[in-house]
Amino acid sequence: MKKINVTKMQGTGNDFVIVDYSEYQKTNMPMSKLAKKICDRHFGIGADGMIIPKENVKNADIGWYFYNSDGSTAQMCGNGMRCFAKYIYDNKLIDKKLFSVETEAGIIKPELLENNLIKVNMGKPVFNYNEIPFWGESKLYVLDREFEIFPVSMGNPHCVIIVEEDPMELTKKYGPFIEINECFPEKTNVEFVKIISPREIEMRVYERGCGITLACGTGACASVIACVLNNLTESKVKVNLLGGPVFIEWQGNKDNVNEDIFLIGSANYTFKAEYML
């Protein structure tokens, strides 16, 4: 029976299995198949996603392969990026605390700070409907209800909905249907957001390819962008997720949306192990 060395990490409860490329080569399996197997919470290790470092890239210090638990790829993952940044620095794949990572969403720049915090420059949000992609209107009718929605891409598509009710209950009921709505041809992440104050929000997420998760970094960014552009919050916001808080900074506004957005939060090891295929 084949065995590979793996590392389990989590960022605000969003959990990932990280596999070195040399270990992956031992499996003789497509990455998507390995991701489904290893992320299965009953027959595998259990995780929201699988990450494999990609060295020798041309346009950045390092790259990654990122897979959701269902075996699909994702352009970007903020919580995964924090775990990845800590992992590659601690394992000496990178010898500096601010570096660039090649992703399917473009070049992302994480920075390791003090007190186990990682700050990630998540790049600029995308609002063009064709680029998200989104083929619809600002109102979406789902099951028994019509929602005012805010589509935006953070390298992956998001549908942000600002509500006054319990966002968890809405996520459970409507999230699975919005994720696969025909207005989002590549499916979408779904965020229900409740405003607590101009500096704090509560967010629950139904992630594309994963379902309900404890946290979503790109979703936290998308939610704050929607709140700022609707004059509901300030530029620095605490986002309360099921797995704990993250902090988002965005200096954009209605007159200037072309600003980078930053995600700040922790990343932690869960365990290292030998995994039997």
Reading the block at residue 273, the tokens are 């192990």
Q: Which of 159, 216, 221, 227 is catalytic?
A: 216
| 210 assigned to active site | no
Contact 5, 274 (CB under 8 A): yes
Residue 9 near residue 87, CB atoms below 8 Å: yes
Q: Which tokens hold the place of 73?
A: 């790829």
How far apart are alpha carbons 245 and 9 in whole angstroms?
17
Does the active-site annotation cover 227? no
DSSP E strands in 69-188: the ranges are: 101-103, 106-112, 117-121, 139-142, 145-148, 150-153, 157-163
Q: Token digits for 176?
A: 């699975």
Q: Give the dihedral sign, CA 172/186/69/13.
A: negative
Residue among 77, 210, 221, 227 flagged as catalytic: 77
Q: Which residues are part of the catalytic machinery?
A: 77, 216
